[in-house]
């Protein structure tokens, strides 16, 4: 199979995950490295290959990165890594190296994820051949889509949709965004719908309630406290997070005409999936005035697969040609 065996990598703001795709197209063991502990992706990739000692060295690579892509130079959005795609390909000795936005890879995965790896979040049946929306909060807010071509192929969109302006839908959200606007100037969706966004929401709600925030706040702490019931502000934070997710997901579904469905990925929501399922997400997703009925028919799924980007990257490697964007 052309382009195999291959090295695949999902490089985020905090961690870089590597695995091999063998000549049959199967994904092997994954290893995770902290980005800040390595000079760049070449060093981390070589460490992985030295550890795995594959019988046949990979001839190609497919890397997903949490960054906007334009030309050969990659500047990571939420990490210190910066690299040249051509130089990285040469250092690793690959015949071909494809580098895509991380949520482009997730978008390519959704047609290969089924069953227990998905949790239904309401709506009707997907319309065959219609555009598909993909988004998800993690270190940042990833946004992509999958669009069909007249030839029957699917094209994944490389976007920076997480940086669209966040809009309020009620006075309380307006107060939250006013405080964040005073701090940041522009308040993107990512400022509230991400790991750091959870902290922003918590601190802002503390301000509005006249409560002193905890000294050291992390996204896992907010999630844990919200689940344990010992922190009312954390619970409010999570409720607002879910509702704002509904607003942004509904906006994306309208923008793409995503009758093929909406897939939500990222590392945050699967950890609180039961609370998310019973949250205000779906109501807010459909709360678009006269287009409420249009959105009510669109299915939404939460991706529970542990590494959806790998499924998309492996699909790229199994093709004879690079995926168009």
Quick: pLDDT tens for 197-251: 999 999 999 999 999 999 999 999 999 999 988 899 999 999 999 999 999 999 9
Task: Report the pLDDT value the prediction gives residue 325, as an integer from 0 to 100.
Answer: 46
314 pLDDT band, cuts 50/70/90, is very high
Q: Quote the mean pLDDT of the chain.
A: 92
Quick: pLDDT tens for 113-172: 999 999 999 999 999 999 999 999 988 898 999 999 998 888 888 888 999 999 999 999
98, pLDDT greater than 50: yes
77 pLDDT band, cuts 50/70/90, is low
Distances (CA, A) of 66 to 12, 81, 181: 5, 11, 24
- Residue 31: phi and psi, rounded to 5, are -130, 145
How many helices, marked H, and strands, marked E, lie in the chain?
A: 11, 13
Written as six digits, the tokens of 145 are 């889509």
- Residue 162: phi and psi, rounded to 5, are -65, -15
Task: Report the pLDDT value the prediction gives residue 82, as an integer from 0 to 100.
Answer: 87
Asked whether residue 207 is marked as a ligand-binding residue, the answer is: no
Task: Report the pLDDT value the prediction gives residue 279, as an integer from 0 to 100.
Answer: 97
Task: Report the pLDDT value the prediction gives residue 208, as an integer from 0 to 100.
Answer: 97
293, pLDDT greater than 80: yes
Asked whether residue 102 is marked as a ligand-binding residue, the answer is: no
Asked whether residue 10 is marked as a ligand-binding residue, the answer is: yes
Q: What is the DSSP letter of 188?
A: B
Task: Report the pLDDT value the prediction gives residue 161, as an integer from 0 to 100.
Answer: 93
Quote the CA–CA distance of 247 and 268 in Å, as a whole number: 17
Task: Report the pLDDT value the prediction gives residue 78, as an integer from 0 to 100.
Answer: 64
Whole-number percent of the chain with pLDDT over 70 = 97
Enumerate domains of the chain plus CATH numbers: 6-102+309-317 (3.30.420.40), 114-304 (3.40.367.20)
- Residue 209: phi and psi, rounded to 5, are -90, -5
pTM: 0.87
- Rounded to 5°, angle at Cα 302 from 176 and 228: 60
CA quadruple 182, 186, 188, 194: dihedral positive or negative? negative
């Amino acid at each position: 199979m052309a382009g195999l065996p291959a090295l695949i990598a999902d490089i985020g703001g905090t961690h870089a995950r590597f695995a091999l795709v063998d000549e049959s197209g199967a994904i092997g063991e994954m290893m995770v490295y902290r980005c800040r502990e390595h000079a760049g992706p070449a060093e981390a990739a070589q460490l992985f290959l030295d550890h795995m000692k594959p019988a046949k060295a990979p001839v190609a690579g497919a890397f997903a990165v949490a960054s906007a892509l334009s030309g050969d130079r990659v500047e990571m959005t939420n990490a210190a890594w910066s690299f040249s795609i051509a130089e990285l390909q040469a250092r690793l000795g690959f015949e071909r190296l494809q580098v895509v936005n991380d949520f482009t890879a997730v978008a390519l995965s959704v047609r290969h994820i089924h069953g227990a790896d998905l949790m239904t979040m309401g709506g009707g049946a997907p319309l065959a051949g219609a555009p598909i929306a993909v988004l998800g909060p993690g270190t940042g807010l990833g946004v992509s889509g999958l669009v069909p071509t007249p030839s029957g192929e699917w094209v994944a969109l490389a976007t920076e949709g997480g940086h669209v302006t966040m809009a309020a839908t009620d006075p309380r959200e307006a107060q939250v965004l006013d405080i964040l606007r005073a701090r940041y100037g522009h308040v993107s969706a990512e400022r509230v719908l991400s790991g750091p966004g959870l902290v922003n929401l918590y601190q802002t709600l503390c301000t509005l309630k006249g409560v002193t925030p905890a000294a050291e706040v992390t996204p896992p702490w907010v999630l844990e406290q919200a689940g344990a019931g010992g922190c009312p502000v954390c619970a409010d934070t999570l409720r607002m997070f879910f509702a704002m997710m509904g607003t942004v997901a509904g906006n994306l579904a309208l923008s793409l005409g995503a009758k093929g469905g909406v897939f939500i990925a990222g590392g945050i929501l699967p950890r609180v999936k039961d609370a998310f399922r019973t949250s205000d997400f779906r109501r807010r997703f459909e709360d678009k005035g006269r287009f409420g009925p249009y959105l009510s028919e669109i299915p939404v799924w939460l991706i529970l697969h542990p590494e959806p980007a790998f499924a998309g990257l492996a699909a790229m490697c199994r093709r004879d040609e690079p995926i168009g964007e």
